[in-house]
Structure 1
Amino acid sequence: VQEVPMREARPVQVVRACSDHSFELDEEALGRVLLDERVRDKDVVVVSVAGAFRKGKSFLLDFMLRYMYNKNTSSWLGGNDEPLTGFTWRGGCERETTGIQMWSDVFLVDKPDGSQVAVLLMDTQGAFDSQSTIKDCATVFALSTMTSSVQVYNLTQNIQEDDLQHLQLFTEYGRLAMDQVINKPFQSLMFLVRDWSFPYEYPYGHEGGNKFLEKRLKLSENQHEEVQNVRKHIHSCFSKVSCFLMPHPGLKVATNPNFDGRLKDIDSEFKQNLQNLVPLLLASQNLAVKEINGSRITCRALVQYFKTYMKIYQGEELPHPKSMLQATAEANNLTAVATAKDMYNREMEKVCGGNQPFLAPSDLEQRHHNLLEGCIKQFRSTKKMGGEEYSRKYEEQLECEIQETFGNFSKHNDSKNIFKAARTPATFFSVVVAMYVASGALGFVGLSALASLCNLVLTMSLLLLCTWSYVRYSGEYRDVGAVIDELANVLWEQVIKPLSESLLEDTMRQTVKNSIRAGLTD
């Protein structure tokens, strides 16, 4: 029979899932659980259960609670007619747990070496339900793995390759959030395979599970590199990896909508293996204290780690994990963008590349537009995953990158124009000549002040011309050279070009008048 404290204790929501797919840490609730005077300075043991939704994680944790409250008796499983209480659970196909929950009671356990540790049980939101993104699943799994000393990875029927790939993704997301670790970042991982249907190959329990896991994670030369990398990653992340095979709990559990956890409705083989599994995790001699970089963590320290990790996951420093389809579609589209852009670069190199002569800007722009249309057409015709709507942003990205590349080709082409290259020295030389003539004329008529001003402009123009020549010769102070070029461009466009055009127009007009007058005279 359960003791009174269990009826008073309850699950406490410490990490809340928000509607915008972010997570919030309830620091007050976390402090109530971990900063109690009894436990705050004790080394902590954290047992967490994670995995896909509706696979019986909370159901399993409630049997762990029964063990922790009644571990001194051989009948800790309880009576046959006793409903299962503790973490909220129910049958059906809709998710129950969201975020991360802790049991409000932290259990003090004396270990065989004489030390006393605090044992904490943690329940997590199920992965891959219809309301969670891959980022949601990765965040919950990673956070629970980072803060637990034993992570139970709850699976059904088998350990499939996609289970291992998701584990790789989730643990890597956790490793990214941690500071540099000296050894393996996480402690103990137990694959708990529920509803195991092949006991004739590998018997139920820990021994059969470890043999099965050894075969599943075995590396061989004929495996694909991707398959090998998954297995290497798992071994590199966890100090200890084990497996336990559990039988099916029975049809009454699976199909009865009114099932409330009474032992009489559960198959005896399941109960027998449950009596082996729970002590394997929670017996005093098997408890593993939470460690980070080799240092044992207290309940008080665990609060700080929760705060630190949550700040990281609430920020934008970490990349957002993607589904396999999304990652593949992104790679497809980026490859198509790169291929189309390479085609544009190759063709433009033939038009105005390094060894090609100067091309009229209007002709260059026409070739650019033709190539741009061709690249967009090639991008659209390339087979890509994700659909047309998903590819639209990558098409826009391609167009922007090609326009930017065209700007560089246009500048390169302009640099081949000998007249444009000589614009700066020609401009300042024209200013020098004009100021020299103006200074002499003004001095001759007695306007010495204006003549001095012209001499000043002449001197400054000479200095600018000499500075520009040094920059072009030495390659130093390129920023100064760019400013001088810009000043020369302004003088050319705003002063010299309009004046020369006006003088040329007046000269042409006068020439025409003289020609007409001469014709009339004749």
Structure 2
Amino acid sequence: MVRQKVGGKQAQILRVQDHCIELDQDVLQEILLNDRIKDKPVAVISLAGDFRKGKSFMLCFFLRYLYNSGSPVWLGSPSDPLRGFKWRSGCDRHTTGILIWDEVFLVNTSQEKELAVLLMDTQGINDDKSTIKESAAIFALTAMLSSVLVYNLSQNIQENDLQYLQLFTDYGRLAQQHIIGEPFQKLLFLVRDWYHVQDAVFGIDGGRKLLDQRLEVKENQHPQLQDIRKHIRSFFTEISAFLMPHPGLEVATGASFDGQLSKISEDFKEQLLQLVPSLLAPENLIPKVINGRKVTCQQLVIYMTTYVHMFKQDTLPEPKQCSR
């Protein structure tokens, strides 16, 4: 039996007020200091990227998988609505700040007795209401806290996507200079609405081909473009890409669409069956590690509190000064 109802709700742990980030300690502690999970190592899977590109929509499928762990038919019935993180079609931003799902999942893995799994949704970048510093702080915090950062992109990996990634992660690197080795863990470029199947097929194989092309350092490239690619590769312990097809016209334009599988394209559903387990199956989960040590839920609260405080101190340079 596939479970369609979700037992938790989204909870805002970071908001922007008067262009200043504010952490909601009470909400964060209520969720992560629960006796059931506080001493468990944690895996943090987050989505970041441009606003209005389907991050919250995708996270709802992550939730559906976790609520139906182990079921080969976890996608569920064709007529069931998609529940979880709030999402909607349209052109105005919906998610602001940083949100997490308030039900933390415990998963048995071969490496750990139990691993806590936390899903994180983030405010999109490039909207018309946020300063570059706000966007940099939210993106950098997300990268710093995540064991897997899913960089959600539309249609391609473009040069400006790489520039923003380098700019924002460099901002985060400055905030955690105590880290030994790469400051961040796994990065997945999730390219949505991929149309160029003649150049690269859907899925992880096509993603690998596209990523190799986009991150290749060439002799005839401008030194600045070479540096961007070198820095991105040096910032993460692992980098991959996945190409997703368009979910269908009714998903994009249907005013009454509420997530029914029957209205989503078969290609999209087929790739969901590959993408989601590649991140969330027990054997693929990656615990959060800082300085070589696995981080517990309780420690994650401490790290997040510290990081937010650092960003609020105004001791870091403006993000535009971080780009080399």
For this structure pair, what is the TM-score category when the shorter chain's length is used for normalisation? over 0.9
Q: Equivalents in 1 of 2:252, 2:158: separation in Å?
A: 22
Match among 155, 179, 196 for residue 177 of structure 2: 179
**Runs of 5+ consecutive residues of structure 1 not aligned to the other structure:** 328-522
Q: Which of 198, 202, 222 is residue 204 of structure 1 equivalent to? A: 202
**Quick one: which of 160, 163, 178 aligns to 1:162?**
160
Percent of aligned pairs with the same amino acid: 52
CA distance in 1, matches of 2:28, 2:93: 23
State whether residues 11 and 103 of structure 1, in contact with CA within 8 Å, keep that contact through their aligned partners in structure 2: yes
Q: 1:36 aligns with which of 34, 57, 67?
A: 34
Partner Cα separation in structure 1 for residue 113 and residue 218 of structure 2: 43
**Are the equivalent residues in 1 in contact too, given 2:167–2:320 (CA < 8 A)?**
no
- Residues 159-191 of structure 1 show CA distances to partners (whole Å, capped at 9, x for unaligned) of 000000000000001001113221010000000
Give, in whole Å, the separation in 2 of the partners of 1:307 and 1:91: 33
- In 2, Cα distance between the equivalents of 1:265 and 1:135? 39
SS in 1 for 2:237: strand
Deviations 1:214-254 (A, max 9, x none): 11101111111011000001011000000000000011111
Matches of residues 266-285 of structure 1 in structure 2 within 5 Å? Answer: 266-285=264-283
Higher strand content, 1 or 2: 2
User: 2:11 matched to which residue of 1?
Assistant: 12
Distance 1:116 1:8, change over 3 A: closer
For 1:97 and 1:234, the matched residues in 2 are separated by 26
Counterpart Cα distance in 1 of 2:151 and 2:246: 17
- Structure 2 counterpart SS, 1:85: coil
Offset of residue 2 of structure 1: 5.4
Write the mapping of 1:65-464 to structure 2, written as runs, cut at 5 A.
Answer: 65-113=63-111, 115-322=113-320
Q: 2: CA distance between counterparts of 1:191 and 1:258? A: 30
**2:250 is aligned with what amino acid?**
K
Deviation track 1:310-344 (CA, whole Å, cap 9, x = no partner) reads 001111101122499xx9xxxxxxxxxxxxxxxxx
The SS at the match of 1:7 is: coil
* Inter-partner Cα distance in structure 1 for 2:320 and 2:165: 14
Structure 2, unaligned stretches of length 5 or more? none
Contact 1:92 1:257 in 2 (8 A): no
Give, in whole Å, the separation in 1 of the partners of 2:259 and 2:266: 13
Higher RCO (CA < 8 A, seq sep 6+) = 2
- For residues 57-106 of structure 1, give each alpha carbon's deviation from its aligned partner in whole angstroms, at most 9, with x where no partner exists: 00000000000000221111121111111000000001110000000110
Asked if structure 1 preserves the Cα contact closer than 8 Å seen for 2:107 and 2:114, the reply is yes
Alpha-carbon distance change, 106 to 139 in structure 1, aligned in 2, over 3 angstroms:
same
Structure with the larger helix share: 1
Q: CA deviation at 1:114?
A: 5.0
**C-alpha displacement of 1:128:** 0.8
Bigger radius of gyration among the two: 1
> How far did residue 113 of structure 1 move?
3.3
1:339 aligns with none
In 2, the alpha carbon distance for the partners of 1:28 and 1:278 equals: 31
Counterpart of 2:157 in structure 1: which amino acid?
I
What amino acid is aligned across from residue 206 of structure 1 in structure 2? I
CA deviation vs aligned residue, 1:391-420 (integer Å, no higher than 9, x gap): xxxxxxxxxxxxxxxxxxxxxxxxxxxxxx
Residue 117 of structure 1 and its aligned partner are, at CA, apart by: 0.5
Give the letter for the 1:10 counterpart.
K
2:238 partner SS: strand
Q: Equivalents in 1 of 2:206, 2:85: separation in Å?
A: 29
Q: CA deviation at 1:267?
A: 0.3
The answer (yes or no) to whether the contact 1:134–1:323 under 8 Å persists in 2 is no
Task: Tell me whether 1:62 sits opposite 2:83 in the alignment.
Answer: no
Amino acid paired to 2:58: L
Between the aligned partners of 2:35 and 2:45, the Cα distance in structure 1 is: 21
| In structure 1, distance between residues paired with 2:44 and 2:22 | 20
**Equivalent position amino acid for 1:305 in 2:** Y
Aligned partner letter, 1:15? L
CA distance in 2, matches of 1:226, 1:232: 10
SS at match of 2:319: coil
TM-score normalised by length of structure 2: 0.97
Change in 2 beyond 3 A, CA 1:91/1:321: same
Change over 3 Å in CA distance of 1:124–1:114 after alignment to 2: closer
Residues 46 and 121 in structure 1, CA contact (< 8 A), matched pair in contact too: yes
Give the partner amino acid of 1:201: D
Q: CA RMSD in A?
A: 1.5
Question: Partners in 2 of 1:2 and 1:178 — Cα distance?
Answer: 42
- 1:115 Cα offset (Å): 2.4
Change (3 A) 1:171 1:246: same
